[in-house]
Amino acid sequence: VKSNRVTLTDYLPELIDAMSRTATDERRRFGDALHDNTDEKKREGGNNANDYANDVTLDVRRLDWSDIATNALDWIQFHESTLLVASEVLYEPCHAELLVGCIRRILHRNNAHCNHTNRARSTRVRVLIANFADRPGWVDFCNGMTALADEEDMRIDVRDLDLGNGGYELLDMR
């Protein structure tokens, strides 16, 4: 059964609450074409994403990059194609290494403790991340992602985005 799923993630509880409210509003707006497959809904015996072959399941999850190496990521299905989209996610220099590690873990989510010597990527992945280029950690992040792309035999491109406010760049890895 094909599963079409959008998962919204954040670290901050207040943003997760806001995203959950938005997701609930969107489910009401789109009706039966958009389903709730969050952990809370599953505990209530609610919707199962596999019941909806042609519909979209909308999940809201907490994601902490700092514990991603031990996080099971069971909400990402093995062999599921993945599109990672993020914007303005680097605020501190340490975020660069954490985010690269998180993306590496997603690429190898079938292994409890990923290491880059195992190159059997579990799925097709595309990563799109936009950030102000002058943010602390952006250059280190781009360098880490370039090394990851080399390890994974993936293509990477970092380019300026012309949004009228200058300084914004897009990293595209596939």
Q: What is the pLDDT of residues 86-145, one digit of tens each?
A: 999 998 899 999 999 888 887 776 554 444 444 455 567 889 999 999 999 999 999 999
Q: How confident is the model at residue 50 (pLDDT cuts 50, 70, 90)?
A: very low
Segment 162-173 shows an average pLDDT of 81
- Taking alpha carbons only, the member of 86, 107, 57, 78 closest to residue 169 is 86
Three-state DSSP at 82 gives: strand
And the tokens for 20? Answer: 């959950």
Q: What is the pLDDT of residue 80?
A: 67
Full-model pTM:
0.73
Backbone angles phi, psi at 70, to 5 degrees: -105, -5
> Distance between CA atoms of 113 and 173, rounded to whole angstroms?
22
pLDDT in tens, 22-38: 988 888 887 656 666 55
pLDDT at 164 over 80: no
